[in-house]
Amino acid sequence: MNPATKTAGFCLILLAFVFIFPLGADTPLDEEPILNEDPVEEEPLLTEEPLFDEYPLPDDDLFPDEEPFYEDYFPDDDPLLIPDEEPIPDDDFFSDEDSLIFEAPPLIFEVPLFIYEPRSFDAIFPGISRVQKRIAFSAEGLRYSFEKDGSPMLMPDPDSGIDLLGRIAAKDPSHIIEALVVVPYNEKELDMLDIYNAMGRIGSIKDYTLPVNDRVFTMFMETTRIESARNRKDIPDPPASDTLPHSETIYLRFKDVTLGNLYMRADISMSLYGITYTMTNFTTVRYFIFPVMRSERYATIIYLEPLKEGILIYSMTGFYIPGFLADRINLTPNINRRISVLINWITDGLRIQENENAENEDKDDI
């Protein structure tokens, strides 16, 4: 056969094959078989954890019986006797094979300075008399103390959202002290961020003294922050903050003039109108080597709110001491003196904050 004829015949056969079976044609694919036809059990939804953890009261059995309270070591004439974190995830992520990096913004919880109009003093304490109100607006403020079976005097309105008594009563105290002070504004109003920064200067508490029996005493020889309940290394106060945390826990060491080192846990929480500081002893309070007060049996709750008239400082302190010790020594005035130191420290801190705000405004004007 002629070679040209062979070549033409071969081309016709190849062309017919292409038309009958086109190259690259998509054939329908059957569904992939299900490897496991058993129903998949759905994982239960995680329950939402509470925002704030309650610190349980310690079991009385945990307190060593071999450390009795010795009443012979407490003289009647002592005027001062009172008694790890989870790792933070990296913010850098790699988006694709080109190694493009983006930084996720940090999560910052901010509490608005004022969502609503500031409240008035009368709206929070409508039952206080004019004389009591005048004292509350003085430098010393109102004070009232009562024992376990007594009743408080400085009760805020039930609709105010302020309930310090319920939280103190949970500690089952033998004695309770109330304090109420309003710090009037000088020229500029203060907000919750100002309060937070004023309360952050823990190291300056040691600078405050009080007169006792015609003498001046320094109640706290040292006041500092510490790393944690386990690591009690002193750390400095942080610089002033530009934002409010939703909540915060810090640890403190106060070297009392009589009782030595007092280790406190301070839980800070924000609400719609104010800031609450709850300070609790997380170790046993001792006089020399003798225990005076068990851990978690002392608590001071300080509530601060910017009012129309000034900054409200409302506190309640509860502590428990055994009956035989309470009969021999009256600890209430001694605790009161230390509360006075804290209130004076807060008041001065607010004034300092006012001055700093005024200086910053002057710089901005320039």
* Predicted confidence (pLDDT) per residue in 145-176, tens digit: 998 888 999 999 999 999 999 999 999 999 99
Residue 147 DSSP SS3 = strand
When pLDDT is averaged across residues 287-304 and rounded to a whole number, the result is 90
Count of structural domains, the chain:
1
Q: What is the pLDDT of residue 214?
A: 85
Q: What is the pLDDT of residue 364?
A: 66
Percent of the chain scoring above 70 in pLDDT: 67
Q: What is the pLDDT of residue 116?
A: 64
* Of 44-58, 105-119, 293-307, minimum mean pLDDT range: 44-58
**Residue 360 pLDDT grade (very low, low, confident, very high; cuts 50, 70, 90):** confident
- Flag whether 65 is in a domain: no
Q: What is the pLDDT of residue 25?
A: 41
- Flag whether 187 is in a domain: yes
Q: What is the pLDDT of residue 304?
A: 98
* Of 40-49, 270-279, 290-299, minimum mean pLDDT range: 40-49
Mean pLDDT of the chain: 76
Spatial contact of 190 and 350, defined as CB atoms under 8 Å apart? yes
The Cα–Cα gap between 154 and 15 comes to 103
Please give the helix or strand (H or E) that residue 101 lies within, else none: strand 101-103
Spatial contact of 119 and 307, defined as CB atoms under 8 Å apart? yes
pLDDT at 12 over 50: no
> 231 to each of 222, 252, 326, how far by Cα in Å?
18, 11, 33
pLDDT at 18 over 50: no
CA atoms within a 13 Å half-sphere pointing along the CA-CB vector of 311: 30
Quickly tell me which residue has 């109100």 as its tokens: 133
pLDDT at 37 over 50: no
- Flag whether 1 is in a domain: no
**Residue 366 pLDDT grade (very low, low, confident, very high; cuts 50, 70, 90):** low
pLDDT at 227 over 50: yes
- Flag whether 153 is in a domain: yes
The better pLDDT of the pair 113, 178 is held by 178
- Flag whether 236 is in a domain: yes
pLDDT at 355 over 80: yes
- Flag whether 76 is in a domain: no
Q: What is the pLDDT of residue 323?
A: 78
Q: What is the pLDDT of residue 115?
A: 52
Q: What is the pLDDT of residue 298?
A: 93
pLDDT at 322 over 50: yes
pLDDT at 14 over 80: no
Spatial contact of 317 and 177, defined as CB atoms under 8 Å apart? yes
Q: What is the pLDDT of residue 358?
A: 80
Spatial contact of 238 and 273, defined as CB atoms under 8 Å apart? no
Range of the domain at 140: 113-365
Dump pLDDT digits (tens) for 248-273: 999 999 999 988 999 999 999 999 99
The Cα–Cα gap between 125 and 133 comes to 9
Residue 124 DSSP SS3 = helix
Which CATH number goes with the domain that contains 162?
3.30.530.20
- Flag whether 276 is in a domain: yes
When pLDDT is averaged across residues 94-112 and rounded to a whole number, the result is 42
Exposed, middle or buried, 209 (CB in 10 Å: 0-12/13-18/19+)? middle
pTM for the structure as a whole: 0.69
- Flag whether 175 is in a domain: yes
